[in-house]
Amino acid sequence: MRHWPLTQLTLTTPDLVLRVPDDDQLDELAQVAADGVVSPGAVYFPQPWASGTPEQTAHNVLQNHWWARGDWREDNWRLLLAVLHDGQVIGQQNLSARDFRITREARTGFWLGRRFQGHGFGTQMRAAALHLAFTCLVADRVTSTSYADNIASRRICEKFDYEPNGIRRLAVGERLAEAHEAVLTAERWRAHRQLTTLILGFDECRHMFGMPLAPGPVDVVLHV
């Protein structure tokens, strides 16, 4: 899409492609969510967007994407990427920030359909988001929140050498939930990064993140 250059952004890891979904992919993503994301009774998110009926869950996904696009501003953006494995949509990776030009801090979130969990995809998704944040956007810090129940998400923070950044208590419905905050600095990421990510199309959309024009073309970023 010419006038929404985020659609040209593509992040590729060894097994995955991450991109802003077109309408068919967004519909597929909604179906993946409707088929199930969270284990019954577990608290993984502050809002129970994936705990209603399949139809409610699918609508939540669609409306969240439309809202994120409609509400996009250079100083308050939410990048919601569909994650594809062998051409099939399997989940979503988020990267968001408010006043990034000043704070240099971004935040990640992610989910996979239940049948795609536990295969190492979440690790690759986080690696791709961190690469975009630290290499293309030149972030100082990236944060993550994992609820106490969510061992996989907390383990992924450990794998990337995040530091604990406090525990918040909040009510999720009628339940007390403990949110484990974690932060990764650019220095720690540089010391520990290990997965390959190829990023294409960033130059076309860098202004949408409030980034100044690049001195030269930097739309291909590759590290091993």
Ligand X SMILES: CC(C)(COP(=O)(O)OP(=O)(O)OC[C@H]1O[C@@H](n2cnc3c(N)ncnc32)[C@H](O)[C@@H]1OP(=O)(O)O)[C@@H](O)C(=O)NCCC(=O)NCCS
Q: Least distance in Å: CB of 41 to ligand X?
A: 13
List residues binding ligand X (CB under 6 A): 37-38, 44-45, 110-112, 117-123, 146, 150-153, 155-156, 159
Comparing C-alpha atoms, which of 165, 95, 163, 83 is closest to residue 124? 83
Question: Which tokens sit at 125?
Answer: 């998704």
Q: Least distance in Å: CB of 146 to ligand X?
A: 5
Q: Least distance in Å: CB of 124 to ligand X?
A: 7
Q: Least distance in Å: CB of 184 to ligand X?
A: 14
Bridging pattern class, strands 141-147 and 105-112: parallel
Q: Least distance in Å: CB of 172 to ligand X?
A: 12
Nearer to ligand X, 7 or 117 (CB): 117
Nearer to ligand X, 132 or 205 (CB): 132
Q: Least distance in Å: CB of 17 to ligand X?
A: 15
Q: Following DSSP, what letter does each residue of the chain receive, concatenated? A: -TT-GGGG-EEE-SS-EEE---HHHHHHHHHHHHT--S-TT---SSS-TTSS-HHHHHHHHHHHHHHHHHT-BTTEEEEEEEEEETTEEEEEEEEEEESHHHH-EEEEEEEE-GGGTTSSHHHHHHHHHHHIIIIIS--SEEEEEEETT-HHHHHHHHHTT-EEEEEEEEEETTEEEEEEEEEEEHHHHHHH--S-EEEESHHHHGGGGTPPPPSS----EEE-
Nearer to ligand X, 122 or 201 (CB): 122
Q: Least distance in Å: CB of 56 to ligand X?
A: 17
Nearer to ligand X, 45 or 162 (CB): 45
Residue number with the smallest Cβ distance to ligand X: 122
Please state the separation of Cα 96 from the chain's center in Å: 8
Nearer to ligand X, 159 or 188 (CB): 159
Could you give the CA distance from residue 27 to residue 67 in angstroms, rounded to a whole number?
A: 15
Nearer to ligand X, 177 or 186 (CB): 177
Nearer to ligand X, 110 or 202 (CB): 110
